[in-house]
Each structure stands twice: as structure tokens, then as C-alpha cells.
Structure 1
Amino acid sequence: MMITIGDLKDTWTGPDGRMVVMAGQQVLLLSELASELLRALADGPLMLESLAAHLEGVFGAPDHDSSSEPAVRALVEDLSGRQIVAFVKPA
């Protein structure tokens, strides 16, 4: 599932503590780490370039062979490149 950053407007915390993002008719369940990142960064206006730069500064440049948390890796890669955010539903 893919959403544009502009669709990250309706969010709430689900019963299991994970952030749920409503994007059109799709509901995306974000990992705990990705949820915390978005919560921390959403206090001010979301600027695509500065958000990508911040995440790259914290987690390093995207690396497809990295064992880092997949949702965060996707967030960094997509925000810094194609300007979309791709999340998969956690197993």
C-alpha cells in the first residue's frame, strides 16, 4: 500500500498501541518505531525534505541490505526519493 505524505492527516492509536493512519479508504498499521517517529516529527509542519534529512541523519542512508526495522527503512527511502511513504501491515 502506498500513500502520499499529504494523506497523513487522520491518525489515531489503535487498541494495541500502534498508530493507525487513515489514507482514503485504506487503513495502514504502522510499526511502533515508525509510529514514534511520526509522532515526534508531526508537532510542526511536515516538510518532506527536512523530514527525510532528519531520518537519514538518525538512521543513515537507506540500505536495502540493512537489518534495520523495515517500515523505518521504507519511510527514509521513500521520503528522500519518490516522495511517497510505503508501509506494509506488520505480521
Structure 2
Amino acid sequence: MGIESLLLMLLIGAIAGWLAGKIVSGSGFGLLGNIVVGILGAVVAGYLLPRLGFGVGGGVIAAILHATLGAVVLLVVVRLVKRI
């Protein structure tokens, strides 16, 4: 993995985490928190979405959408666990 790929992954993670924070709880988690949430969301989406028969295609916009969907699922599950 080149430095460009790593930087793009971090940028997509930050954008996806920020978007998920806005969708779920109304606020972001700071730069590092957004990156972590976005990357974990991409992992969650990479596991769940193909099993549900859902694909978002390729490209940067699709990667952001993919990671955002996963991050939203992740944040909803975390929120539900915190309530218990």
C-alpha cells in the first residue's frame, strides 16, 4: 500500500465518520474519532452489505457511501448497547 492509498483511506474514513456522526447523533467525534469510526464502519459494511446483496460500486464516492453506511450501523448498535 502506497502513501497515497493510505492518505485516501484516512480521508474517506474521516468523511464517513463525520457523516455518520451527523446522521446518528448530530455531532462529530473529532478528526481522529471520525477516522476510526469511518474505517470501522467500512469494515462493518464490507462484512454486512455483500451478505445482504447490496453493492455500492467502485470509486471514491461509493467508498464514502459504503463506509458511511457501515459507520451508521456501527453507531446505532453502540447506542443500543449503551442504553442497556
TM over 0.5: no
TM-score (norm 1): 0.26
Q: Which has the higher strand share?
A: 1
| Structure number having the greater helix percentage | 2
Q: Tell me the TM-score normalized by structure 2.
A: 0.27
